[in-house]
Chain A
């Protein structure tokens, strides 16, 4: 099927981005293209939305709504940015609307300094036992709960920026595009988000200069990529 794109820039973008090519097929009413698009993006969308709204069921509803809007807007689609950026812009708008409608309240930060009458709370095991990673399944589940609650303490915009940065590997420019902000504003937003996260999770962080436990190889590779300085063009 011959794809038509408007302008030289759109054509170049279509050549570079296979997802743009797929979306152009959706625009041309290719009957299998939209289903392919849903298959391709469903897990990523649901992951991001789940971390924003807290409910998997609601995340799936919102994800469906994103896809429906993508489909209904297909005739007006002209690629100007990465396809994922455009899609997550729609997701951002829907998620923020949903959150404001629910007026989701942030969770009060946990105070885990005191042990209860039955001895140290499970979370304190995670703090004290520095020699081992939280490999035990129960410990890991408790840690997941604590981290999710920490994420919930952030306001909507901080949470959105952090989730896009972390789970979609979006750079500041792409996050700015998705959220309708300047890159400078995203830099400030992420700085505050990460500082707030650090404060809430301070009991799970080694502050005394001891060597950090070795992260899993895939995390280290991703972190190394982030540390390599980018040259402005």
Chain B
């Protein structure tokens, strides 16, 4: 006898642990006496379990960085639509976006920014605090390297790492 849709729904819900105790017991009682229902349950479970073979996709390594950049650029673009670019010059929002990218490329970390406060606002043409999105892009390196920064006691330690008399020159000819 063909399995009714209602029975298959109850069976699927049972396999997913979605039935209450009473309904689960009712299905189990039927499974004990109905080989066709039992075969259907096994087949449904096996097909579902085969999905385990599908790989979990991981986002690419630069995903967070690109997302934050996209956010910073899209918000800068939104602002620029309300404010026309300066006549004959580079639009101010492009300067801001490139400043954010440049700061990331130079690898300005939070440790430097905290000791030289004026640097925090150096990307802004007016000296005002940068938008929150720019701060997020700037702080991304802090977040990614937080486990390293937590071990740095102060700026003097960081500067000491750069002393050639202590750590030498790592060029191939040395």
A-to-B contact residues, CB < 8 Å: 29, 31-32, 34-36, 38-39, 42-43, 45-47, 50-51, 56, 59-60, 63-64, 67-68, 71, 134, 140, 143-144, 147-148, 151, 162, 165-167, 171-172, 187-188, 190-191, 194-195, 197-198, 201-202, 204-207, 209, 212, 215-216, 219, 223, 225-232
Known: A29-B132, A60-B63. A198 touches B18 (CB 8 A): no
Whether A147 lies near B53 (C-beta < 8 A) is: yes
Q: Which residues of A are found within 8 Å of B143, using beta-carbon distances?
A: 32, 35-36, 39
Return 29 A-B CB contacts under 8 Å, by A number: A29-B132, A31-B136, A31-B139, A32-B139, A34-B136, A35-B143, A36-B143, A42-B59, A42-B63, A42-B67, A43-B57, A47-B57, A47-B58, A56-B57, A60-B59, A68-B70, A68-B74, A143-B53, A144-B54, A147-B50, A191-B9, A195-B12, A207-B39, A207-B43, A209-B39, A223-B45, A229-B20, A230-B17, A231-B21
Q: Which residues of B are found within 8 Å of A201, using beta-carbon distances?
A: 47, 50
Q: How many Å lie between the Cα of A147 and that of B49 in the bound state?
A: 11
Smallest beta-carbon distance B21→chain A, Å: 5
Whether A67 lies near B136 (C-beta < 8 A) is: no
B-to-A contact residues, CB < 8 Å: 5, 8-9, 11-21, 23-25, 39, 42-60, 63-64, 66-68, 70-71, 74, 132, 135-136, 139-140, 142-143
Q: How many Å lie between the Cα of A148 and that of B142 in the bound state?
A: 39
Most buried by A among B12, B44, B45, B57: B57
Whether B135 lies near A223 (C-beta < 8 A) is: no
Q: How many Å lie between the Cα of A226 and that of B17 in the bound state?
A: 4
Q: Which residues of A are found within 8 Å of B47, using beta-carbon distances?
A: 194, 197-198, 201, 204-205
Q: Which residues of B are found within 8 Å of A188, using beta-carbon distances?
A: 5, 9
Whether A31 lies near B135 (C-beta < 8 A) is: yes
Known: A197-B48, A229-B19. A191 touches B8 (CB 8 A): yes
Whether A229 lies near B21 (C-beta < 8 A) is: yes
Known: A46-B57, A143-B53, A198-B47. A232 touches B20 (CB 8 A): yes
Q: Which residues of A are found within 8 Å of B25, using beta-carbon distances?
A: 229
Known: A38-B64, A38-B68. A229 touches B9 (CB 8 A): no
The one of B19, B51, B58 in contact with A230, judged by C-beta atoms closer than 8 angstroms, is B19
